[in-house]
Chains A and B, each alone.
Chain A
Amino acid sequence: MTCRLRNATLLILLALPLTAGDTPWLTYGNTLSGWRYTPLTQITSTNIAHLAPAWIFQTNTAAKSESTPLVRDGIMYVTGDSNNAWALDLKTGKQLWHYFRKPPKPLDLCCGEVNRGFAISGDRLFKVNIEDTLLALDRLTGKVLWETELGDYRKGYSGTAAPIVIKNLVITGTAGAEFGIRGFIDAYDIATGKRVWRFHTIPAADEPGGATWAPSTEHRVGGSTWITGTYDPELNTLYWGTGNPGPDMNGDVRPGDNLYTCSLVALDADTGKLKWHYQYTPHDVHDWDAISDPVLVDVTIAGQLRKAVVQANRNGHYYGLDRVTGKLLFAKPYTEVSWARGIGADGRPILVPDQEPSEEGTKSCPGLGGGHNWQATAYSPRTGLHYFSSTDGCQLFYRTEQQFVEGHWFQLSTVDGIPGDSNRHSVVAVDTATGQTKWRRELQAHPSGGMLATASDLVFYGDSAGNLVALDARTGEPVWHFQTGASINAPPIAYEFEGKQYIAVAAGGVIVTFASR
């Protein structure tokens, strides 16, 4: 681990109170409701032509960053791949400190040594390391204040999610369902790093939900929790999506619904006790994790104001649930779906037969990555629309037989493309009160980086070709773009510093921040 203080003078200056005209970005989704919405309005469709880079920070790492930077008190805090993190001067982009710890080897992972960002509380920052530890860092020096193990990386556990802070707790999940882990959501005391509660996403056989795994199931595994949840302070309820059961594509070895995989769980934030759950994909065999942002919105349905939680699920349906009770409000497909004829009034999918993976390969839609995967989504209260990326297409799903070996891949097969049937990409805007798609912007490049909505009715996203793009939030028409030079896999953020609005995004291994010139 290295932790470098580059400039003591800079540190002192940055510690000084800042003037009015600063609007921070304080958590993964900006609000605990997961909106990724900024109230800032300086950048509009009429002046956006003047938007240009203000500074660029080179991390000098070969990264495909998925990180959401945080901004507060004149400093940007951003994590990188492979256990890197930086604090940057908002005025100049210069480095304040750098944290690094070399990941252990060998380290077999499904999806790279990625990290999705910090949480912040007072003078403490919180992040996970890829070997599945949780750390508290001092925000002005980058020094480690405490560190605790979440899961054993030698058994397949890994850490990629941005934590969140609720009251005196820092809460996070784990990755590793492809390696036969038992998923969980954990809460730790922000001062001491002591664990306060743990919710296992896979119940034991004698616990509620345990009977949804047939007694013949030898290994009750999966249910990782690798994307940050959301929180309703009035209900004191935490909402967190869970991943696939293990093995991914051979369901014969785990008959039953396999709770609480591919579900949304609502937990008491103080105790971690389950309030309710909703399983989007019972007995999943297509790796359709339910980890997409659970966004908290209040909507009017049939003249009644409902507290809802909405999610663009990987299985191709857009869901609205009552976030008090967990009851289904609506579910509508937003992309091509072959596995279900719809979602019944009882909340269960109406299955199409013969969609299970096979030795010869079974065509199913959407593909393994789903209609919408993990990429951050955005919601605008001005439009009532939820914006997210969609990949439309099908794949062949294969299955195999294999004994479980602790810490090894336990996916039990894979997918392949269908010749002549290439995927199509789009940005979708869905009405959160009905689940109806209001507009769809079809794209050549994958909108791989997630969304940001602004109060000036713009939606920003980054794409796989390296463009940071702004769309009109009401029509989906592009109004601006900038070529950053690297595939963008991270969501953009907005902040105000010294009275001026900025847009920032991690593109590959650089951080670019934009302002009007």
Chain B
Amino acid sequence: MRRLLLVLCFAQLLSAQSADVDVGKGNFRLYCAPCHGIHAQGGRGPDLTQTTADLAHVISEGVPGTEMGAYSSQFDDAMIARIVSYIRSTARGASGPVAGDPEHGRALFVGTANCAGCHAAGGVGPSLARVGRQRSPAYLREKLLHPSTEITPGYETLIVTLKDGSNVRGIRRGLDDFSAQLIGLDRRFYSFRRNEVASIEKDSHSLMPDQKLTEPEITDLLAYLSTLRGDAK
């Protein structure tokens, strides 16, 4: 009888945990999936299937300096626990260090690949100072190989054709039905009223050029990017 009770209790516990995971999955998809992907495998936000972080703390308090906000005022502890239950259910184990030579990757970054031209401090591209903490290696590889598949919000491309036929291409800083603002690759700020120009068009292509790197060079570059975690030197 006691054994039967134990089995029943255990089954009940498993059922409750399963329900928690299901509810957590629903909440994850509403609140987390837009950045972390529908299956928690990363996107704009890190891959959560391989994380060992204190997720309850991260969800509650956020991560300063990143897009990850604090949800403690919106979610109670039980809801956070359910979301964490779901994320843990997707676990594929912690990822090891990214293969490759980070030193050589750094040399490429500031040298022949010329990433630093746009992504170093003061550049017109997104800062990569914490990118190793913010983005998964798989996401960075995809961005490196196909920069136009998902352009970082705030860095979309705009092409303004002037009435003399010349055009200005740059990073969109503002666009509505009456004006456009952009930062050109020449680091100049441009602002146009619609009636001053021939056309204003969104460009689905990223301003980041396609890379002509070998596979080992890509691996080294990713190894370097994964070291950029915003840690104090």
Residues of A within 8 A of B (CB): 105-106, 108, 361, 398, 400-403, 405, 408-414, 416, 419-420, 443-445, 463, 465-467, 469, 478, 481, 483
Contact = CB atoms under 8 A, between A and B. Distances in A.
Given A409-B30, A414-B33, A400 B22 contact: yes
A63 to B, nearest CB: 17
A136 B226 CA distance: 59
B129 interface: no
A400 B177 contact: no
Contacts of A478: 177-178
Interface residues of B, number: 24
Interface in B172-197: 174-178
Given A419-B149, A465-B176, A403 B22 contact: yes
B23 A402 contact: yes
Contacts of A361: 38
A107 B195 CA distance: 47
Contact of A481 (B19, B34, B73, B178): B178
Contacts of A401: 22
B63 to A, nearest CB: 22
B199 interface: no
Given A409-B30, A413-B26, A463 B176 contact: yes
B61 interface: no
A408 B23 contact: yes
B74 A403 contact: no
A171 B34 CA distance: 37
Given A108-B74, A408-B23, A419-B150, A414 B176 contact: no
Contacts of A410: 26
Given A108-B74, A411-B30, A420-B149, 4 more contacts: A403-B23, A419-B149, A463-B176, A467-B177
5 contacts: A402-B19, A408-B23, A408-B79, A410-B26, A481-B178
Contacts of B76: 106
Scoring B25, B174, B177 by chain A CB atoms within 10 A of each residue's CB, the highest score goes to: B177
A358 B33 CA distance: 16
B161 interface: no
Contacts of B204: 420
A465 B25 CA distance: 34
A144 B75 CA distance: 31
A463 B177 contact: yes
Contact of A405 (B23, B175, B177): B23
B159 to A, nearest CB: 14
A218 to B, nearest CB: 14
B25 A400 contact: yes
Shortest Cβ-Cβ A-B pairs, 9 listed: A465-B176, A414-B29, A402-B22, A445-B176, A403-B19, A402-B26, A444-B177, A443-B177, A400-B25
B227 interface: no
B72 to A, nearest CB: 10
Given A108-B74, A403-B19, A416-B38, A411 B26 contact: yes
Interface in B11-37: 19, 22-23, 25-27, 29-30, 33-34
B147 to A, nearest CB: 13
A412 B74 CA distance: 19
A316 B176 CA distance: 25
A403 B27 CA distance: 13
Contacts, number: 69
B176 A398 contact: no
A154 to B, nearest CB: 12
Nearest to A466: B176
Contacts of A106: 74-76
Contact of A413 (B29, B34, B150, B174): B29
Given A409-B30, A414-B33, A420-B204, A402 B25 contact: yes
Nearest to A464: B176
A103 B204 CA distance: 43
Nearest to B73: A105
A412 B26 contact: yes
Contacts of B174: 465
B176 A444 contact: yes
B13 to A, nearest CB: 15
B33 A416 contact: yes
Contact of B29 (A105, A398, A465): A398
A413 B19 CA distance: 15
Given A467-B176, A481-B178, A400 B74 contact: no
Given A409-B30, A414-B30, A398 B177 contact: no
Scoring B22, B38, B73 by chain A CB atoms within 10 A of each residue's CB, the highest score goes to: B38
Contacts of B27: 409
A106 B74 CA distance: 7
Scoring A416, A444, A466 by chain B CB atoms within 10 A of each residue's CB, the highest score goes to: A444
Scoring B30, B34, B176 by chain A CB atoms within 10 A of each residue's CB, the highest score goes to: B176
Contacts of B176: 444-445, 463, 465-467
Scoring A405, A467, A469 by chain B CB atoms within 10 A of each residue's CB, the highest score goes to: A405
Contact of A398 (B19, B38, B79): B38
B22 A444 contact: no
Interface in B187-227: 204
A265 to B, nearest CB: 29
B26 A409 contact: yes
Contacts of B19: 402-403
A105 B149 CA distance: 40
A469 B177 contact: yes
A192 to B, nearest CB: 37
B42 to A, nearest CB: 14
Contacts of B79: 108, 408
B166 to A, nearest CB: 22
Contacts of A105: 73
A163 to B, nearest CB: 28
A409 B76 CA distance: 13
A117 B175 CA distance: 30
A416 B39 CA distance: 12
Contacts of A409: 23, 26-27, 30
